[in-house]
């Protein structure tokens, strides 16, 4: 895939960046959203497709994006379709920092070193060109304002923004209540985005754990004919704590 187009993880991260503080809103759920955004981007590139509540690799050919290709290879190695909720709930240490560093290399954000409480070193990120953030935000605003069904990319971005809780960051206060409601409603316009967004919310609600041995997964019968997931139980990924650059993402 070409690099002329920003990927969904990059756009989701740009939406989450607070221009006033240089930090990311909803940092813990944002990690889940970035993992989900990778799935949607791979689906838009024709590499994976939904299989019920699972994700199946249909074309293992690399996309040309190293971070996406790493996710694609991990999915391919599973050998069988994986439940979206288990994939998103798996460990993703450093994923947010990977994308922040990428945006910095691309010149979309600038790293600003600082200190927390006058002692602990931190790094904040400021957008170098606010027109990019305005364009991304404008697509959501247009879909919310006009009610016209958005393109799949914008619909998926809206679904992910809602799933990670960015609605109150983008449309705060009582005056933003109707916009937050319409942002939530956009989830229905993209099946893959909806699947991933619901998986993100399920993980946050603790629904990503693997059933105990002998317990049937929700909506699937137990017994010899039931398809096993073959995946260990996973919870919400822990935040990275290594180095100055990793510390910023937690703030």
Q: What is the pLDDT along the chain (251 residues), one digit of tens a residue?
A: 434 478 999 999 999 998 878 888 888 899 999 999 999 999 999 999 999 999 999 999 999 999 999 999 999 999 999 999 999 998 877 899 999 999 999 888 988 887 666 677 888 888 887 888 899 999 999 999 988 889 999 999 999 999 999 999 999 999 999 999 999 999 888 899 999 999 999 999 987 544 433 344 433 433 334 443 333 333 333 333 333 333 333 44
- The two three-digit tokens of residue 123, written as one number: 């790094």
Using CA atoms, how far residue 129 sits from 11, 15, 102, 133, 244, in Å, is 14, 13, 15, 8, 24
The pLDDT assigned to 208 comes to 57
Using CA atoms, how far residue 208 sits from 39, 155, 220, in Å, is 16, 24, 15
The pLDDT assigned to 28 comes to 81
List the one residue out of 38, 50, 43, 46 whose CA is nearest residue 12.
Answer: 38
Residue 148: exposed, middle, or buried by beta-carbon count in 10 A (0-12, 13-18, 19+)? exposed
The pLDDT assigned to 75 comes to 95
212 C-beta neighbours (distance < 10 Å), count = 7
Taking the C-alpha atoms of residue 75 and residue 90, their distance in angstroms, rounded to an integer, is 12
List all residues 6 or more positions away from 233 whose beta carbon is below 8 Å from its beta carbon: 209, 210
List the one residue out of 76, 24, 80, 44 whose CA is nearest residue 196.
Answer: 44
For the whole prediction, is pTM greater than 0.75? Answer: yes
- The two three-digit tokens of residue 214, written as one number: 């002998």
């Amino acid at each position: 895939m070409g690099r002329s187009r920003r990927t969904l993880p990059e756009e989701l991260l740009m939406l989450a960046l607070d221009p006033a503080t240089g930090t990311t809103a909803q940092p813990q759920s944002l990690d889940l959203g970035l993992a989900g955004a990778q799935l949607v981007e791979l689906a838009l590139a024709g590499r994976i497709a939904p299989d019920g509540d699972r994700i199946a690799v249909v074309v293992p050919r690399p996309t040309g994006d190293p971070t996406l290709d790493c996710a694609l290879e991990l999915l391919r190695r599973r050998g069988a379709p994986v439940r979206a909720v288990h994939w998103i709930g798996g460990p993703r240490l450093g994923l947010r920092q990977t994308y922040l560093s990428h945006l910095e290399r691309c010149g979309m954000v600038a790293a600003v070193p600082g200190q927390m409480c006058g002692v602990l070193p931190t790094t904040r990120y400021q957008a170098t060109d606010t027109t990019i953030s305005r364009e991304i935000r404008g697509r959501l605003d247009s879909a919310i304002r006009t009610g016209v069904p958005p393109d799949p990319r914008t619909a998926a971005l809206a679904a992910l923004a809602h799933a990670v809780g960015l609605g109150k960051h983008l449309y705060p206060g009582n005056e933003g209540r109707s916009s937050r409601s319409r942002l939530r409603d956009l989830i229905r316009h993209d099946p893959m985005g909806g699947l991933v967004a619901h998986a993100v919310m399920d993980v946050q609600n603790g629904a990503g754990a693997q059933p105990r041995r002998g317990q049937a997964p929700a909506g699937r019968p137990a017994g010899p004919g039931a398809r096993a997931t073959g995946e260990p139980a996973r919870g919400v990924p822990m935040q990275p704590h290594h180095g100055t650059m990793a510390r910023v993402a937690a703030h």
